[in-house]
């Protein structure tokens, strides 16, 4: 199905005709898939449909200039393009619509995303990088509007890095930075801040990025007059147009039904972006949406008859058909025959996809029905169990939910019975759930040998008389070692470059490694994250710096919806091992309080969240992550950069293990768990508690996601029989998460002699100043008194009330 563009100036009429008709066949095939796909949703075989009808012809033109090594970062209307580059067949289209969890049937996401969300495979079966230069690449789509834009920036910046930074082994990833990153977005979504942030950043960075705006004048039911100033995105972006005096964009505008003009426009855009590394915006206007926004409603509700008639006349496939006939390339009869054959091909492909999806489920249905019937024959509740078997067998188009539900319910009727048949059905359902569950849950994190969880701890080593230095120097010198060891590593963020970050953890490194590897950015957190995601997807090892933990909120949607879900939503076929660096903890003032970890933890599952207590531990985490392939967030202690630490002599080599706690003080009376800067307060309180005869054990969590894979905390609780979790997050935040991990996942409840407690910050963010910090977050006195109160309950005589 892939297009085969001719690059020679002189080709025969037969070759010209063949290419045009090949394009037409792809466009009609895509349209028929959209039409039949909508019917599949309305008849109940699929849950929801959002299709690319009306955008077919411009996507054909785009596909002609899309080269091996290029990347797409699009939205859910690009099915024609994916068909044109040979990465989406009819059967795969419908497999995605049905949510088939077999990656061989639905290579886009193995049923994890709704149809219309496309991606190619960057990783092989072992999780190793494929040669991305030998294939046309699509980064995995997400639904949030404009959410694909920040990632697009990073995909384009990777070409700039590969072209301009010496010493990088670009094998499999780049041919001298000649790759273009192509983005697509609907006209209404250009109202999103992420679009404007990306537009500005790409103009500053001057990267090979081409954005196509598919403009059909609507955003669901809302007309462009409510969306865009002047109802025209290219008009209001004219200030970005480059000229002889200043760098900027090349802005192009073209009608979406004009096949010839579209080809010329995309060829021009490709040349400019690929050769000059100049971003290009293509405003594709006069497009239509023949079936409306999606299967959730009809566009007849909000479009006038005049508009609907206009859309019929301006339909891009209709206009292409008229052009083909008008220029003598084919006849109406020939095109009729082509269209008839395509309708059959699409119906056949749909049928094949449905059968491939249903056949294994029907086999499971038969097995389960037989097992339930067998169980019924041995039970006093035969009639009830047989009814379950009959109802299951009677489901014409079964789901795995139907099967699992029926089998599990059947066991309720034999709770007090024992039989071989009961054992058989118990074993079957256990095996079934173990086999089926991963189809929907696997690959949240890397399952390859490169997983950061497999990186072994390497302790820091020291000279005989190690130098005591500010913690920032441990970090700085370790980053220096990292940049020497890993040429693909780079770091960027606000104030990261020239001044070496606000706390001098990168002091002097820009001068040493250049402005592209240690770079300043504007104040634009979402696209800082996007830069990192895109570059990581192209084989680089970026560290995206967000100046403070509070500012993560600006980028949290990108982290949550894109970065954290990437490996999962591609069934392990794409990865972005981005390290997000930030700083927080024990700060003074509402906007620098660093107290959002509870929310962050629950929004970025799929990333590691690491909370080192000092800079040596932090440096070790960076070293560990660079040997792994998972994304992570590292929160450095802001009030620790000037505290003295001993300078290791194995910089760049020592490694802090992920998912491992550390007992920093042994004790027998109570287990205290904390992390980050608060741990220093807990340790001080633990020392003061010794004065009143309370010997607390103090555990540094170090890693929140994941937490304590070795279950060392429960071993401590088994010894002390008491537990308190202390942190500076709000009540119900990270401390509640840790309590859940310890009590439920590690089953520590069985060893408790006292009620477990959490000690957190107040529900508000901290007030400003030293007193604001003291009265807003746990203090040494708070820890001391709360622990003492627990011990008073245990032994009022030994620990009389204050």
Annotate 458-526 with three-state secondary structure.
Answer: ECCCCCCCCCEEEHHHHHHHHHHHHHHHCCCEEEEECCCCCCCCCCCCCCCHHHHHCCCCEEECCCCHH
CA–CA separation, 582 and 26 (whole Å): 47
CA–CA separation, 139 and 152 (whole Å): 9
In sequence order, the β-bridge partners of residue 186 are 214
Q: What is the DSSP string of 83-109?
A: HHTT---HHHHHHHHHT---TTT-TTT
In sequence order, the β-bridge partners of residue 202 are none
Catalytic residue among 277, 592, 764, 792: 592
Six-digit token pair at 422? Answer: 């009961």
Q: Where are the beta strands (DSSP E) in 122-228?
A: 137-138, 181-186, 209-214, 218-219, 222-223
CB-based burial label for 239 (10 Å; 0-12, 13-18, 19+): exposed
Contact (CB, 8 A) for 496 and 518: yes
Chain-centroid distance, C-alpha 715: 35
Q: Tell me which H or E stretch contains 671.
A: strand 670-674
CB atoms within 10 A of CB 123: 18
CA–CA separation, 268 and 266 (whole Å): 5
In sequence order, the β-bridge partners of residue 209 are 181
Contacts of 394 (CB under 8 A, 6+ apart): none
Distances (CA, A) of 141 to 130, 146, 578: 19, 11, 18
Q: Where are the beta strands (DSSP E) in 392-470?
A: 468-470
Six-digit token pair at 111? Answer: 């049923």
Contacts of 370 (CB under 8 A, 6+ apart): none
Contacts of 608 (CB under 8 A, 6+ apart): 445, 452, 625, 630, 631, 632, 633, 658, 703, 705, 706
Contact (CB, 8 A) for 21 and 330: yes
Contacts of 352 (CB under 8 A, 6+ apart): 91
Helix, strand, coil content of the chain in percent (nearest 5)? 50, 10, 40
Residue in 52, 212, 59 with CA at minimum distance from that of residue 117 = 52
Phi-psi region of 792 (alpha: psi -120 to 50; beta: other; left: phi over 0): alpha
571 included as an active-site residue: no
Contacts of 13 (CB under 8 A, 6+ apart): none
- Could you list the active site residues? 592
């Amino acid at each position: 199905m892939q297009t085969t563009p001719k690059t020679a100036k002189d080709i025969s009429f037969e070759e010209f005709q063949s290419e045009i008709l090949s394009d037409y066949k792809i466009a009609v095939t895509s349209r028929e898939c959209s039409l039949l796909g909508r019917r599949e949703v309305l008849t109940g075989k699929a849950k929801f449909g959002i299709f690319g009808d009306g955008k077919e012809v411009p996507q054909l033109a785009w596909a002609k200039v899309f080269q091996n090594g290029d990347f797409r970062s699009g939205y859910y209307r690009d099915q024609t393009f994916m068909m044109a580059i040979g990465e989406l067949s009819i059967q795969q289209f419908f497999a995605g619509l049905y949510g088939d969890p077999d990656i061989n049937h639905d290579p886009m996401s193995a049923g994890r995303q709704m149809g219309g969300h496309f991606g190619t495979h960057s990783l092989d079966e072992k999780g190793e990088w494929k040669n991305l230069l030998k294939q046309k690449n699509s980064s995995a789509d997400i639904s949030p509007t404009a959410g694909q834009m920040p990632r697009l920036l990073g995909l384009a910046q990777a070409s700039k890095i590969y072209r301009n930074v010496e010493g990088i082994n670009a094998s499999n990833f780049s041919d001298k930075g000649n790759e273009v990153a192509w983005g697509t977005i609907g006209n209404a979504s250009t109202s999103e801040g992420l679009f404007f942030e990306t537009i500005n950043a790409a103009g500053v960075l001057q990267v090979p990025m081409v954005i196509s705006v598919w403009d059909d004048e609507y955003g669901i039911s809302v007309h462009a007059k409510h969306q865009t100033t002047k109802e025209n995105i290219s008009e209001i972006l004219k200030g970005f147009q480059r000229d002889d005096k200043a760098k900027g964009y090349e802005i192009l505008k073209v009608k979406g039904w004009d096949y010839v003009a579209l080809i010329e426009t995309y060829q021009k855009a490709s040349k400019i972006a690929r050769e000059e590394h100049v971003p290009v915006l293509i405003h594709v206007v006069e497009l239509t949406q023949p079936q409306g926004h999606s299967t959730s409603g009809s566009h007849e509700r909000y479009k006038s008859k005049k508009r609907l008639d206009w859309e019929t006349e301006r339909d891009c496939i209709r206009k292409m058909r008229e052009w083909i006939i008008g220029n003598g390339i084919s006849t109406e009869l020939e095109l009729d025959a082509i269209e008839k054959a395509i309708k059959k091909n699409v119906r056949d492909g749909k049928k094949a996809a449905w059968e491939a999806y249903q056949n294994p489920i029907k086999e499971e249905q038969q097995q389960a029905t037989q097992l339930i019937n067998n169980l019924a024959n041995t039970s006093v509740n035969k009639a009830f169990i047989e009814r379950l078997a009959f109802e299951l067998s009677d489901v014409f188009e079964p789901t795995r939910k139907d099967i699992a539900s029926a089998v599990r319910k059947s066991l309720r009727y034999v709770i007090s019975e024992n039989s071989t048949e009961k054992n058989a059905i118990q074993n079957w359902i256990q095996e079934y759930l173990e086999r089926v569950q991963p189809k929907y849950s696997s690959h949240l994190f890397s399952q390859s040998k490169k997983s950061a969880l497999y990186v072994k701890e390497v302790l820091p080593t020291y000279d005989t008389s190690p130098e005591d230095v500010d913690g920032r120097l441990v970090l700085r010198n370790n980053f220096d070692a990292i940049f020497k060891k890993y040429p693909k590593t780079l770091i960027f963020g606000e104030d990261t470059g020239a001044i070496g970050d606000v706390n001098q953890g990168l002091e002097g490194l820009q001068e040493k490694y250049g402005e592209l590897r240690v770079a300043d950015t504007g104040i634009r957190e979402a696209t800082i994250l996007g830069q990192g995601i895109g570059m990581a997807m192209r084989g680089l090892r970026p560290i995206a710096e967000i100046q403070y933990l509070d500012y993560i909120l600006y980028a949290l949607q990108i982290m949550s919806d894109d970065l954290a879900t990437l490996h999962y939503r591609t069934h392990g076929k794409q990865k972005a091992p981005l390290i997000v660096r930030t700083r927080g903890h024990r700060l003074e003032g509402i906007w620098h309080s660093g107290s959002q970890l509870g929310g962050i933890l629950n929004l970025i599952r799929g990333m590691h969240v690491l909370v080192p207590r000092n800079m040596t531990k932090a440096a070790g985490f960076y070293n560990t992550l660079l040997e792994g392939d998972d994304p992570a967030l590292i929160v450095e202690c802001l009030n620790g950069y000037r505290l003295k630490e001993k300078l290791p002599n194995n910089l760049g080599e020592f490694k802090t293990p992920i998912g491992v706690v550390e007992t920093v003080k042994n004790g027998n009376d109570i287990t205290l768990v904390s992390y980050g800067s608060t741990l220093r307060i807990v340790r001080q309180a633990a020392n003061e508690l010794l004065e009143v005869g309370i010997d607390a054990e103090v555990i540094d969590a170090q890693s929140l996601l994941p937490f304590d894979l070795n279950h060392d905390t429960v071993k401590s609780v088994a010894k002390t029989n008491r537990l308190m979790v202390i942190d500076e997050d709000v009540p119900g935040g990270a401390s509640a998460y840790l309590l859940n991990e310890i009590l439920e996942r590690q089953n520590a409840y069985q060893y408790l002699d006292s009620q477990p407690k959490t000690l957190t910050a107040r529900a508000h963010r901290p007030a400003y100043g030293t007193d604001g910090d003291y009265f807003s977050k746990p203090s040494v006195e708070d820890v001391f008194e709360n622990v003492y109160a627990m011990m008073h309950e245990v032994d009022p005589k030994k620990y009389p009330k204050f």
